[in-house]
Amino acid sequence: MRWLLAALLSIWCIGAQAGEVGPRRALLSSAHPSWILPSIATTQGAADLYFQTQQYWVNGQGYVPYTSQISISRTSAETCQWANGHLTYAPNNTPCITDLGLAVWEGRTNLEPSSGDLTNATYWQMINATAVSSSVLAPDNIGTLQLVTATLSGGNRVATTGIGLAVVNGSTYTVSYYVKAGSSQYAGMAVTNTTVAGAIYNLTGAGNVVSTTGANAVSAAISPCINGIYRISLTVTAASTSLGMAVGVSDGSTYSGAGVLPSASSGTIYASFAQFELGAFPTPYIPTTASTAARASDNLTTVAGSALDTALRATPGSVFVQTNGMQSSSAFNTFIFFSGFWKFRVGSDVNHVDFNNNSIDFNSLVGNGNSYVNRVKSSIIYNGTTTKIIASGGSTSSGSENRSTASGTIGIGNILNGYLERIAVAPNLYQLFPTSP
């Protein structure tokens, strides 16, 4: 009898637990994750797309694939960079989503052929230097860097052959290499046609630009990558219709030749992945072989009928945008636009976000002294009467311009020139998201 009572009790418990499975699952599926922004969890149809952590959530749906919210097209491959400087490659129409976020870049062309092989005598000449193959892996862990050795003073370099590449006089160009210290910790880079510009880079620690020289130099930069590799760049204003790029071993303090060339008479560095592009800043590496090569722009649009698309069309509405690594540009870094009618622009000009509707605009300065090339958190809200924006804990700016619910395609970050880390939207809500760093 005792065993019979125990069996009946066990059957009753199992039945009770089985009856709870449905409600428990429903409760779990409706619970919101802790990482989403305030108000997203309490606003039906709100969406939080966190590209940097690769988590995408919609209130009422739960976790969703990003492809259900954003469509991404690009008619070429693209080089993807990770936070540690490692490079990978994405084929046509495939986004670069890494731990830096979703990469959004304008189209560019690498004008320098044989970018990954400085030993190719068709496109590179060795002056007071040699360049040979090596086993040192490039930052993509596929290709290799070439070993550059200074053999004589007077401007050692591996340089573009002939008189250089065809450029537009007066335009701004940026050249770059991936380099690593050899027996020397200093690299020198130059852009030449008679005298143009040069720079010296320290290839240790976080890396630093030691100096720049030349009347046509605009700026120089260095960023650490994986395995002790750095990307060095030099931006110049063209003073002729042809320019060449060159890299060599520097003594760390002086210039040779025309006053812009690397100066060492001995020593080695590793270099490769050269890029020569029109523009005031370097963009992701574009591999070339026997000719130039182009990377198409990243074109992002909302998926029709998605939570993101619906929320951006709703009035009132609230939007949060988190970007990083945006580069300055002669154009605004437009983030969201309705068929070109109204625009939410992040980092337009410098240190502020901007709202523009029919050429009427107002802006909010980025708080805490942050430059827009770093992380910017910004929010915009609208209710049909008043629009407000705030950037990185700065002051809130208001305007009476109506945010239009114009029909048509909604573009997302198409000339951001940096990384979209996160976008969150809440329909029928008029409340700024927190933007303090």
pLDDT in tens, 292-341: 999 999 998 899 999 999 998 888 989 998 888 877 554 555 667 665 55
Q: What is the pLDDT of residue 147?
A: 98
Give Cα separations from 42 to 226, 312, 350, 426, 428 (angstroms). 42, 17, 35, 9, 11
Q: What is the pLDDT of residue 3?
A: 41
Q: What is the pLDDT of residue 10?
A: 40
Least confident segment among 1-10, 21-30, 162-171: 21-30
Residue 366 has pLDDT above 70, yes or no: no
271 or 409, higher pLDDT: 271
Rg (the chain; Cα; Å): 27
Identify the architecture of domain 47-106+298-427 in CATH: Sandwich (2.60)
Residue environment code for 408-420, b if the CB has 16+ CB neighbours within 10 A, otherwise e: eebbbbbbbbbbb
Q: What is the pLDDT of residue 333?
A: 58
CA atoms within 13 A on the CB side of 288: 24
Least confident segment among 16-30, 205-219, 221-235: 16-30
Residue environment code for 23-33, b if the CB has 16+ CB neighbours within 10 A, otherwise e: eeeeeeeeeee
User: Residue 411's pLDDT band (boundaries 50, 70, 90)?
Assistant: confident
User: Please, is 86 exposed, middle or buried when counting C-beta atoms within 10 Å of its C-beta (0-12, 13-18, 19+)?
Assistant: middle
- Tally of residues, the chain: 437
Can you tell me the distance from the alpha carbon of 281 to that of 373, in angstroms, rounded to the nearest whole number?
11
Give Cα separations from 260 to 33, 49, 191, 254, 263 (angstroms). 55, 47, 8, 9, 9
Q: What is the pLDDT of residue 211?
A: 98
133 within 8 A of 270, measured Cβ to Cβ: no
Q: What is the pLDDT of residue 357?
A: 61
DSSP 8-state assignment for residue 141:
S
Helix, coil or strand: residue 308 = helix
Place of tokens 């936070």: 83
Residue ranges of domains in the chain: 47-106+298-427, 108-295
User: Residue 207's pLDDT band (boundaries 50, 70, 90)?
Assistant: very high
| Long-range CB contact pairs, 205-213, < 8 A, 24+ | 207/232, 210/186, 210/250, 210/252, 210/253, 211/253, 213/255, 213/259, 213/260
Q: What is the pLDDT of residue 313?
A: 85
Q: What is the pLDDT of residue 369?
A: 47
Can you tell me the distance from the alpha carbon of 235 to that of 112, in angstroms, rounded to the nearest whole number?
15
317 within 8 A of 427, measured Cβ to Cβ: yes
Least confident segment among 41-55, 83-97, 272-286, 304-318: 304-318
Task: For 108-295, give the CATH class.
Answer: mainly beta
Residue 11 has pLDDT above 60, yes or no: no
Work out the angle at residue 27's Cα, subtended by the Cα atoms of residues 24 and 28, and round it to the nearest 5 degrees: 85
Mean pLDDT along residues 161-188: 95
User: Residue 386's pLDDT band (boundaries 50, 70, 90)?
Assistant: confident
Give Cα separations from 187 to 9, 150, 270 (angstroms). 79, 11, 9
Share of the chain above pLDDT 70, in %: 80
Q: Name the strand (E) or helix (H) holding 26.
A: helix 2-30
DSSP 8-state assignment for residue 395:
-
Same fold, 47-106+298-427 and 108-295: yes
Share of the chain above pLDDT 90, in %: 62
Three-state SS annotation for 247-307:
EEECCCCCCECCCCECCCCCCEEEEEEEEEEECCCCCCCCCCCCCCEEECCCEEEECCCCH
- The tokens for 130 are 């040699």
User: Please, is 73 exposed, middle or buried when counting C-beta atoms within 10 Å of its C-beta (0-12, 13-18, 19+)?
Assistant: middle
Mean pLDDT of the chain, nearest integer: 85
Can you tell me the distance from the alpha carbon of 230 to that of 202, in angstroms, rounded to the nearest whole number?
10
Q: What is the pLDDT of residue 162?
A: 85
Q: What is the pLDDT of residue 5?
A: 39
Residue 35 has pLDDT above 90, yes or no: yes
Residue 402 has pLDDT above 90, yes or no: no
Least confident segment among 23-27, 127-131, 310-314, 411-415: 23-27
Give me the phi and psi of 309, to 5 degrees please: -65, -45
Can you tell me the distance from the alpha carbon of 171 to that of 237, in angstroms, rounded to the nearest whole number?
6
| Residue 46 identity | A
